[in-house]
């Protein structure tokens, strides 16, 4: 049975996720994309995974550099999320005006994000039109306060601070 790609896309739109910007550095040139396909994988050793479309420049850059960073965006970073998603085509240099830093791998870390993870690629698995990059976390940091930006049903959203009561 063949699944209609549009039906699959509609179904997956009902999965809420956080928003990240995945970055890397090749030959002194930073590159990055907005991604929601990100997850924690292992505690010992600390590993995460990101899924990147094979057609994207950032995919080739991660393959070349062997490193990447995941920047976890807060609600105040919506414009960055949109910028790195290519939603502002007039912005050629997505890093313009952003005073990014580095930690261990040299991958760009965006200032003031909720948290970041600086990684070395440990494995890459081809999966359809994407590659699953497994990164070992070499350095990480997180803010104490802040609210995440969410992506649900093709819209940017804010988390409502209403914890559910356990029943």
pLDDT in tens, the chain (167 residues): 799 999 999 999 999 999 999 999 999 999 999 999 999 999 999 999 999 999 999 999 999 999 999 999 999 999 999 999 999 999 999 999 999 999 999 999 999 999 999 999 999 999 999 999 999 999 999 999 999 999 999 999 998 777 778 87
Question: CB neighbours of 33 closer than 8 A, spacing ≥ 6?
Answer: 21, 22, 52, 56, 58, 84, 85, 86
Q: Which of 123, 144, 125, 126 is nearest to 134 (CA)?
A: 123
Quickly name the fold that domain 7-156 has.
Pnp Oxidase; Chain A (2.30.110)
* This prediction's pTM: 0.93
| 139 beta partners | 118
Domain definitions of the chain by residue range: 7-156
């Amino acid at each position: 049975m063949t699944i209609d790609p549009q039906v699959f896309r509609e179904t997956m739109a009902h999965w809420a996720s956080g928003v990240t910007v995945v970055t890397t550095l090749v030959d002194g040139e930073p590159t990055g994309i907005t991604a929601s396909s990100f997850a924690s994988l292992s505690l010992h050793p600390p590993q995460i995974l990101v899924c990147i479309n094979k057609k994207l420049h950032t995919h080739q850059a991660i393959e070349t550099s062997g490193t990447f960073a995941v920047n976890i965006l807060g609600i105040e970073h919506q414009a960055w999320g949109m910028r790195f998603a290519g939603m502002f085509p007039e912005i050629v240099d997505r890093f313009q005006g952003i005073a990014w830093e580095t930690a261990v791998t040299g991958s760009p870390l965006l200032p003031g994000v909720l948290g970041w993870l600086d990684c070395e690629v440990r494995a890459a698995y081809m999966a359809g039109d994407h590659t699953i990059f497994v990164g070992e976390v070499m350095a990480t940091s997180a803010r104490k306060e802040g609210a995440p930006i969410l992506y649900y049903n093709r819209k940017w959203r804010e988390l409502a601070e209403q914890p559910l009561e356990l029943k």
